[in-house]
Amino acid sequence: MKMSLKTLFSAACLGLCAGALAPEAALAHGEKALEPFVRMRTIQWYDVAWSKAKLNVNEEVVITGKFHVNADWPRGVAQPDATYLNVSAPGPVFIRTERYLNGQSSVSSSALKLGGDYEFKIVMKARIPGRFHLHPFVNLHDAGSVVGPGQWMEVEGDASAFTNQIKTLDGSVIDMETYGLANGVAWHGFWIALGSAWLLWWVRRPLFIPRYKMLHAGQDASLISPLDRKIGAAIIFAVPMIVFGANFVTDLKYPNAIPLQAAMDQIDTLPPAVDVGAVQVKIQRAEYNVPARAMIMTALLHNGSDHPVRVGEFATANVRFLNPAVVQPPQDEGAALAAREGLSIDTADPIAPGETRTIRITAEDSLWQRERLDGLIRDADTRMGGLLFLYDNAGQRYVSSVSAPVIPKF
């Protein structure tokens, strides 16, 4: 028994070491970590596109897309008074050179309006070669990050060829990759040399046992020599002189230095793109069928447009359930999160102009489980949300933001 336990322990240690020596790359950014109701009912992403997926160091990729800020914002999530449109990546393998929200250039945080529609554009410049998974996402103050659709990017070239030159307001051009490094290292080196000299001054003589003995024998006066005292006095005088002198010179050298900037950007909302009124949708009941992995929504639809419309897509938390009977516009986002035949309607007939009809929409796919959205029924807030896309025969798209309490069916 003793032997087998020992063997087991050794095997476990070996396994642990082997695992540590051969780590697997982490390929996710916590997209599924946030509670389903937060992912479904806060930032609702759509039409996200990437200008390219392969590029060289110093080349740029443009990410464009839209998001709707759900008006049925979860009560447990702080209001979006401070948010930051960000990009998740394994470190700054790209740099962000430009960012626009609703056409306005934005470099700081901003507040989002509930029910507001936003278009974004982010320009990224490749810095490090490799294959990286990138997502746009919105940091929500006190809530976490709501991640948008991801894309694999392949960067080729030489990292040392990367350049990032910026012109300051005093007219000088600086290289962000090396700016201030030599000066910082020099100052650190200077103080480290001085600190090391002080340490060596003491460490060179016998330390602990003899000094302890002498101290307790009442000979502590002899442990600090007059020269030690002189050096100590010199430190008290000279170090602040150097510090304040260098500080003064720096002030002279950079007279226009300013404090870190703390202003938030003010972003105006666009004219509504979601729930614009021509087509109105109200979810009357939503059931989640656990064994079938299907969300069944009973919806009251009113078609106020001039053309018959049909439900083409239900999108929630970056998962797209598509109705194959309706023509879909092409989109660039990862096909892995699209259930191409995941959406079905109980009637094939389109909703005629002026008609109000109750229909049953079924969004069915294992993606509910794979994306950990089925956990919604065990959350403290069991309301679902998403965007419903309807199309008329002329290709016009109507987007409706829907939400409803969910009843599980076991």
Partner 1 sequence: MTGKSLDIPARPYTGEKARLSRAYDYLILVLALFLFIGSFHLHVALTVGDWDFWQDWKDRQWWPLITPLMMITFPAAVQAVLWPNFRLPLGATLCISCLLIGTWITRFFAYHMWNFFPINEVLPATMLPSALVLDAILMLSNSLTVTSIFGGMVFALLFYPTNWPIFGMFHVPVEYGGAQLTVADLFGFQYIRAGTPEYLRIIERGTLRTYGQYATPLSAFCSALLCTLMYPLWWYLGKAFATTKYVKNI
Footprint of partner 1 on 73-102 (CB under 8 A): 82-84, 86-99
Residue from 18, 20, 24, 259 touching partner 1 (CB under 8 A): that is 259
- Nearest-CA neighbor of 112 among 88, 87, 77? 77
Please state whether 370 falls in left (phi above 0), alpha (psi between -120 and 50) or beta: alpha
Site for partner 1 in 227-256 (CB under 8 A): 228-229, 231-233, 235-236, 239-240, 242-244, 246-247, 249-251, 253-254, 256
* Binding-residue pattern over the window 97 to 126 for partner 1, x denoting contact by CB under 8 A: xxx-----xxxxx-----------------
Site for partner 1 in 326-345 (CB under 8 A): none
277: three-class secondary structure by DSSP: coil
Phi and psi dihedrals of 374, rounded to 5? -70, -15
Site for partner 1 in 26-45 (CB under 8 A): 29
* Binding-residue pattern over the window 342 to 381 for partner 1, x denoting contact by CB under 8 A: ----------------------------------------
Pairing of strands 383-392, 309-316: antiparallel
- Nearest-CA neighbor of 75 among 317, 381, 386, 283? 381
CB of 110 to partner 1, least distance (A): 9
Q: Return the amino acid letter for 132.
A: F
CB of 175 to partner 1, least distance (A): 10
CB nearer to partner 1: pick between 179 and 357: 179
CB of 118 to partner 1, least distance (A): 16
Residue 214, interface with partner 1 (CB under 8 A)?
yes
CB nearer to partner 1: pick between 161 and 407: 161
Residue 213, interface with partner 1 (CB under 8 A)?
yes
CB nearer to partner 1: pick between 196 and 358: 196
Residue from 18, 26, 217, 335 touching partner 1 (CB under 8 A): that is 217
In the block, residue with structure tokens 């933001």:
401
In the block, residue with structure tokens 């063997």:
7
Stretches 217-225, 275-283, 360-368, 376-384: which one binds partner 1 (CB under 8 A)?
217-225
Pairing of strands 104-105, 54-56: unpaired
Residue from 49, 71, 194, 276 touching partner 1 (CB under 8 A): that is 194
Stretches 48-56, 164-172, 292-300, 354-362: which one binds partner 1 (CB under 8 A)?
164-172
Distance, first Cα to last Cα, the chain: 46
Q: Tell me if 344 sits within 8 A of 362, measured CB to CB.
A: yes
Q: Return the amino acid letter for 348.
A: A
Structural tokens at position 359 = 């229909």
d(CA 5, CA 282): 63
CB of 364 to partner 1, least distance (A): 33
Q: Provide the 8-state DSSP code for 80.
A: S
Residue from 2, 75, 170, 395 touching partner 1 (CB under 8 A): that is 170
What DSSP string describes 9-40? HHHHHHHHHHHHHSPPPP---STTTS-HHHHH
Residue 191, interface with partner 1 (CB under 8 A)?
yes
Q: Give every CB contact of residue 303 below 8 A, 6+ residues apart in sequence.
A: 278, 279, 309, 351, 352, 353, 354, 355, 356
CB nearer to partner 1: pick between 230 and 340: 230
CB nearer to partner 1: pick between 12 and 233: 233
Phi and psi dihedrals of 48, rounded to 5? -80, 130
CB nearer to partner 1: pick between 152 and 187: 187
Residue 261, interface with partner 1 (CB under 8 A)?
yes
CB nearer to partner 1: pick between 266 and 366: 266
Structural tokens at position 146 = 């709501």
Q: Return the amino acid letter for 345.
A: I
